[in-house]
Amino acid sequence: EDKVVQSPLSLVVHEGDTVTLNCSYEVTNFRSLLWYKQEKKAPTFLFMLTSSGIEKKSGRLSSILDKKELFSILNITATQTGDSAIYLCAVGGAGYALNFGKGTSLLVTP
């Protein structure tokens, strides 16, 4: 059975801190790993990773995939209160659907 595990499940940090969110997976016929950010409504796409060792970067957010150890990390540097959200990790396998982890709830305090 496919499995996606995110850690920690929740996190509280101060503005300016750097955070690292973790996602490990067991998936048959791995295709891709995706990160989403969810505030009050629809999840919004952050990154899609398919190859090991290649960092994807967007502003203060970056992510990398390790296909040998079956995990990914999402880094956020110089956090801001607007980064407060649920961060979802999802993995695509043999089918078209994505298998989601339970999410990491991040709260950034002023």
Partner 1 sequence: DVKVTQSSRYLVKRTGEKVFLECVQDMDHENMFWYRQDPGLGLRLIYFSYDVKMKEKGDIPEGYSVSREKKERFSLILESASTNQTSMYLCASSPGPGELFFGEGSRLTVL
Q: Which stretch binds partner 1 (CB under 8 A): 12-20, 57-65, 73-81, 90-98?
A: 90-98
The H or E element that residue 46 is part of is strand 44-49
What is the C-alpha separation between 85 and 71, in angstroms, rounded? 21
Residue 80 CB, nearest approach to partner 1 (Å): 23
Torsion sign across C-alpha atoms 105, 20, 43, 4: negative
Residue written as token pair 């659907």: 97
x/- binding map, residues 25-54, to partner 1, per CB under 8 A?
------xx-x------xxxxx--x------
- Chain contacts with partner 1 (rule: CB under 8 A): 31-32, 34, 41-45, 48, 88, 90, 92, 95-103
